[in-house]
A = this chain, B = another copy of it.
């Protein structure tokens, strides 16, 4: 008899099954929430495994350290964290690991913490045959609760920054053939590598949200980050909030030198690791915010219906049949 193994199950079903072991209020978001008498804490955990999420050819230990912190801070920010308290670091390392690698990793970690706040709150180091970095990050919940399940029909969908650049950087670093017919601008190449190796987050996002809010009763906002790609982010919001996302293809912000074509759309929508914020707001609030912050663009809206994603022009919908970015 064939015993059911992880491979048979798939990521989505695995998450569903594991959710049954957890309290219901901890399931929908990337982060977990602890209520204390004063501040509420946001907790996030993210692991990077060698030859799954990174390898020594593609990324330096310092960049990897930076990125492992960013991926956690991005999750905290997309839950409405107003301050990163710190992180714990759990390392698994082969005994042949060079000390300079470990030193580089910690340098990158501390550089990111210096930039965005927070300290190292201890950790653990074990031997193993494959490098793995597991970081747990702690933030303090700000005034606005940003949650995947808080989008509403009628909300405008917005995103910070530009997607796909990290994926392009990854492909360039791995020397994977992109498209023989296209010669990429040098500027785009270095920008993409920068996005892949040293992604940034938006610590002012929460401040600008509060600055443009007209009604203090509005406290819950639909939000996630695009660590698994723009498509996955939209799908997570649609599913958790039980509404349909309509995306305006023309409005999607692309780099001015980004080539056109199906392949390039695929990189854009399914690329992942951009750590941009994907969120929804009532129309007026969305308008005010995108006027205030030029890094933020309106790209569509939520409506009642099945929790799916559609483009407003049907010819683009074939794109959405492609497989999304997979960590597992």
Residues of B within 8 A of A119 (CB): 22-23, 26
In the assembly, what is the distance between CA of A122 and CA of B92, in Å?
Answer: 21
- Is A207 in contact with chain B by the CB < 8 A criterion? no
Contact B47 A134 (CB under 8 A): yes
Main secondary structure of the interface of A (DSSP, over half): mixed
Closest to A135 in B: B90
Contact A47 B92 (CB under 8 A): yes
The one of B43, B45, B88, B132 in contact with A128, judged by C-beta atoms closer than 8 angstroms, is: B132
Given the interface pairs A52-B126, A127-B49, the reply to whether A99 lies near B6 with Cβ below 8 Å is: yes
**Cross-chain pairs A/B with CB under 8 angstroms, 20 sampled:** A5-B98, A6-B127, A18-B102, A18-B106, A18-B125, A32-B88, A32-B122, A34-B86, A34-B138, A36-B39, A36-B41, A43-B121, A45-B88, A45-B122, A46-B124, A47-B134, A90-B90, A90-B136, A92-B132, A132-B132
**Chain A interface (Cβ < 8 Å from any Cβ of B):** 3-9, 14-15, 17-18, 21-23, 26-27, 29-34, 36-39, 41, 43, 45-49, 52-53, 85-86, 88-90, 92-100, 102-103, 106, 109-110, 119-130, 132, 134, 136, 138, 327-328
